[in-house]
Structure 1
Amino acid sequence: MTARYRPMLDRMGLTYPQYLVMMLLWESDGQTVGQLGSRLALDSGTLSPLLKRLTAAGLVTRHRRVDDERSVSILLTPEGKALHSQALEVSGEIIGALGMTISEFDHLKTELRTLTDRVTADGNTAHS
């Protein structure tokens, strides 16, 4: 899948992991580093350099939260928000390349999230 995305993401100046972070922020701006890491199953050692590159590219800003200084919120810049329309085109191209309808693709995403949640939950209970 990453290879399918690469030419389209190159036009946007994003890597696949950066694209995933941006997708989460377009869905809900202002998430914390911890929330993004949890949703992507990435540790801070992997996520922090990725966020630094997005910050350097002018797509996001990082701010310590007033209510919890240990926590850092990631906010989209106007440039980051502007990429959203291009990202929607990428999603449409991928769905088309897979020969799926949007409904089929949404169903597949739901099933994959369920699978991921179950695997994660089982892994957490096994170590408790």
Structure 2
Amino acid sequence: MPNKQLIINSQSLSTEQKVVSLLGCVAHEHKTEMEALVSRHGLSLLQLEILHCLDQAPQEELSVGQLKSKLIDDSPNVSRTLNLLVGRGLVTKRRCTEDQRTVYIAITPAGHDAHERSDKELSSMKTALSSAEIKQLYTLLQKF
């Protein structure tokens, strides 16, 4: 865990540099906590994000290209991660009959359950901020 106090007390960093550094530290801390929470369900954050995109899709399946365009993180590991999810029975793959290059992905009932359990776990994360501070931080973060 990064020592944020070193950044805060630094005499050589401008306030803007401190803010950027602290954002990185806080993001790292929260990502680590999120990874630990979803790993209780045997998932990585990328696997959960894929399940989330598939579960929220208006159609029953997405092409791999459509799925990649919906992901927050532009990970090069999507194909490998999809194969892991298929192997665990959380998603299915279907090759398009008209265009063999296109593969469709659909979430299974087990994938839906894993998504719901992990989302519930993540919703337990809290901050030490007041409601007003959360709103203020949300407004500020939208500017990045």
Q: TM-score, normalized by length of structure 1?
A: 0.67
Instruction: Return the structure number with greater helix share.
Output: 1
1:36 corresponds in structure 2 to 67
Alpha-carbon contact 2:35-2:45 (below 8 Å) kept: yes
Q: CA RMSD in A?
A: 2.8
The answer to whether residue 92 in structure 2 is matched with residue 61 in structure 1 is: yes
Alpha-carbon contact 2:37-2:122 (below 8 Å) kept: no
1:49 corresponds in structure 2 to 80
2:112 corresponds in structure 1 to 81
When residues 100 and 68 of structure 1 are mapped into structure 2, their CA distance, relative to the original with a 3 A threshold, is farther
Deviations along 1:4-63, one digit per CA (max 9) or x if unpaired, are 1122111111011111111111111411110121222536x5211010111111111100
The answer to whether residue 42 in structure 2 is matched with residue 10 in structure 1 is: no
* Greater Cα shift, 53-62 or 24-33: 24-33
Larger Rg computed on CA atoms: 2
Q: Distance in 2 between matches of 1:77 and 1:5?
A: 23
- Unaligned runs of 5+ residues in structure 2 are 1-29
Q: Distance in 1 between matches of 2:130 and 2:95?
A: 41
Q: Distance in 2 between matches of 1:61 and 1:48?
A: 13
Deviations along 1:62-88, one digit per CA (max 9) or x if unpaired, are 001245432111111121112232133
Q: Distance in 1 between matches of 2:130 and 2:98?
A: 44
Q: Distance in 1 between matches of 2:83 and 2:99?
A: 21
- 1:98 CA displacement: 6.6
4+ aligned runs moved over 3 Å, structure 1: 66-69, 97-101
Q: TM-score, normalized by length of structure 2?
A: 0.61
Alpha-carbon contact 2:38-2:122 (below 8 Å) kept: no
